[in-house]
Structure 1
Amino acid sequence: MSLNIKFGVSTWLWTSPFNTETLALFSKIKKMGYDVVEIPVEDPALIDVKKVREALSEYDLKPVICGAFGTSRDLTHDDPSFHQVSFKYIESCLDICRDLDAGFLCGPMYSAVGKARPVSSEQKKIEWERAVVNLRKVCGMAAERGLEIALEPLNRFESDLINTTEDVMSLIGDIDHPAAKVLLDSFHMNIEEPDIEKAILLAGDKLIHVQVSENYRGTPGTGQTCWDAYFRGLSAIRYQGTVSIESFTPEIKELAGAVCIWRPLAPSQDSFAEKGLQFLKTWAASANINPANQESIINKLTF
């Protein structure tokens, strides 16, 4: 048995923010063997859709569009003006998805990344309801464009609202809109999920995108991640989407500071992408990536 999936990588691995200059990475990404490029939209004004579309066509890459939800983009904020800022930004991202033939917008769009505080149960209920109401509106915006949204749980240090698959499935249940789907990220799951396989099974057919890196956000295959559990879970739900490497470069200081990367996580970012893809292709072709044979796979790679 093997996984019938596509492989992607985020341009955040090399640079930030995404702009016209970032298109120079597409040739390298294709030569490495990737099928998909993940495009993080920090500032929609920097995205020249026509040029991006041309570059995607030239290098035969499919896009995944990810949102970036800083402090001003918060659908659960007490001040409704933050909601309007978020709607305007999300609408721009959805337009980019539509224009690039990407089927969904993904990210933790329910709240601002880094909003992690002790709050009363009453306040949490208020913010939960805001997320439900506002994301139902977002789902309507997506559906009008023939799109979906993929909501991403974050670890406890980055969000106090949605940390686990159970959390995000409860949120989707309350939103109650067919456009509401799920993105799972192995970095956050390795912190929050007691059972990776069960978490994936819980997401089931709502899971439309998967991001991966190691437990320390490094190259897949070099850390403590239980890849066998991911294989079993994804196989069981017959997942056929993209598995995409998402990590970050320490060279872009603002981005590195936001994700707390204070040292290089690989000999080079190119090495990260190349060796990570080598490992993932071997992993996806095998039904038994247990710790012993994971080490054997790693030993065959030259880092």
Structure 2
Amino acid sequence: MKNIIDFGVSTWLWQSPFTTKSIDLFPKIKALGYDLVEIPVEDPMLINAKEVKKALNDNGLKVSVCGAFGPTKDLTHENKDMHRQCFEYLALCFDLCNELEVKFLAGPMYSAVGKARMVSSEQRKIEWNLAVSNLQKVCNMANEHHLSIALEPLNRFESDMVNTAEDVMRLVTDINNEAAKVLLDGFHMTIEEQSIRKAINTVGDKLIHVQVSENHRGVPGTGLTPWNDFKLGLDDINYHGGLVIESFTPEIKELAAAVCIWKTMAKSQDEFAQQGLQFLKQTFNG
């Protein structure tokens, strides 16, 4: 049976942060040929869900939602006030998901992005256990909203906790809650995995969302990513869901610095989106 893939793009390709006014991007995203738009939630208070939902409907777009987990959102921090702050943020994100009729919230919510250090095995165990216990609470919150969470492994330069498919499956197993699912991002996978296809099979039916860009964060098809292995892996598990281009505009300096994008990856962000979608459709619909 042919996989059902919704081809999507993150609004981070053009803007940061996402606000209600960002719905001005939706007609262009639809015109480019996308099925789905991904909304990264840096500040939920900047987003009027009713207006966004109407704009999605008006443009015939599906939607996915991912969280943004900077240094103030860290479930492994020793300060419990930090945990409370993260829970409050996640509750708002879950409310947004419900209003947009999304089935899950995605992202590396186990720890702060950029928390990559050399620490003792004892400290690692403490932080792992904090992540597990706090994500069990997050899963209970998600269940109350009839949602899942899609946990994302990051490369070693952005996380010292969860880098691979094996890592994230260990985390999901330890959380032991049906709400705990997986997001895989091809950019991180090209750094950390020995085999893209094997990694996808490792997570299997826990995989509910996929993000992609090239190994250099550029346009899909212009780098070293083994795209055929990627397709075969998704075919192996009969993946149905979003395949979302996640890259970032160099025009927003704070965002560009956070993800270390020091130069443009295409003549324009629109060209990036257009060429990337064309390549993904040729590769994954072939």
Same fold (TM over 0.5): yes
5+ residue gaps, structure 2? none
Could you say which residue in structure 2 is the equivalent of 1:207?
207
1:38-93 C-alpha deviation (Å, 9 max, x unpaired): 00000010011111011011001111000000001000001111100100001100
TM-score (norm 1): 0.93
Matched, 1:176 2:161: no
Could you say which residue in structure 2 is the equivalent of 1:299?
none
The residue type paired with residue 246 of structure 2 is E
Report the CA distance between 1:20 and its aligned residue. Answer: 1.7
Could you say which residue in structure 2 is the equivalent of 1:240?
240
Q: Structure 2 matches for 1:177-196, cutoff 5 A?
A: 177-196=177-196
The residue type paired with residue 155 of structure 1 is N
Helix, strand or coil at the partner of 1:18:
coil
In structure 1, distance between residues paired with 2:196 and 2:2: 18
How many residues in Structure 1 have an aligned counterpart in Structure 2?
A: 286
Q: Structure 2 matches for 1:121-270, cutoff 5 A?
A: 121-270=121-270
In structure 2, distance between residues paired with 1:129 and 1:280: 38
In structure 2, distance between residues paired with 1:191 and 1:55: 37
Could you say which residue in structure 2 is the equivalent of 1:50?
50
Report the CA distance between 1:2 and its aligned residue. Answer: 5.2
Is the CA contact (8 Å cut-off) linking 1:38 and 1:65 kept in structure 2?
yes
Could you say which residue in structure 2 is the equivalent of 1:11?
11
In structure 2, distance between residues paired with 1:46 and 1:285: 36
Is the CA contact (8 Å cut-off) linking 1:2 and 1:284 kept in structure 2?
no
Could you say which residue in structure 2 is the equivalent of 1:294?
none
Could you say which residue in structure 2 is the equivalent of 1:91?
91
1:15-35 C-alpha deviation (Å, 9 max, x unpaired): 100002211000000011111
In structure 2, distance between residues paired with 1:280 and 1:95: 31
In structure 2, distance between residues paired with 1:82 and 1:26: 34
Report the CA distance between 1:4 and its aligned residue. Answer: 2.4
Higher alpha-carbon deviation: 69-78 or 2-11 = 2-11
Could you say which residue in structure 1 is the equivalent of 2:69?
69
In structure 1, distance between residues paired with 2:215 and 2:265: 11
In structure 2, distance between residues paired with 1:270 and 1:135: 37
Could you say which residue in structure 1 is the equivalent of 2:281?
281
5+ residue gaps, structure 1? 287-303
The residue type paired with residue 184 of structure 1 is L
The residue type paired with residue 22 of structure 2 is T
Helix, strand or coil at the partner of 1:86:
helix
Could you say which residue in structure 2 is the equivalent of 1:78?
78
In structure 2, distance between residues paired with 1:238 and 1:184: 15
1:221-279 C-alpha deviation (Å, 9 max, x unpaired): 11111001101100000001110000000000000000000000111000000010000
In structure 1, distance between residues paired with 2:63 and 2:94: 13
Q: Could you say what the CA RMSD is over the residues aligned between the two structures, in angstroms?
A: 0.8
Is the CA contact (8 Å cut-off) linking 1:9 and 1:273 kept in structure 2?
yes
Could you say which residue in structure 1 is the equivalent of 2:34?
34
Q: Which runs of 4+ in 1 moved over 2 A?
A: 1-4
In structure 2, distance between residues paired with 1:183 and 1:102: 15
Helix, strand or coil at the partner of 1:282:
helix
User: Among the aligned pairs, what percent are the same residue?
Assistant: 63
The residue type paired with residue 74 of structure 1 is D
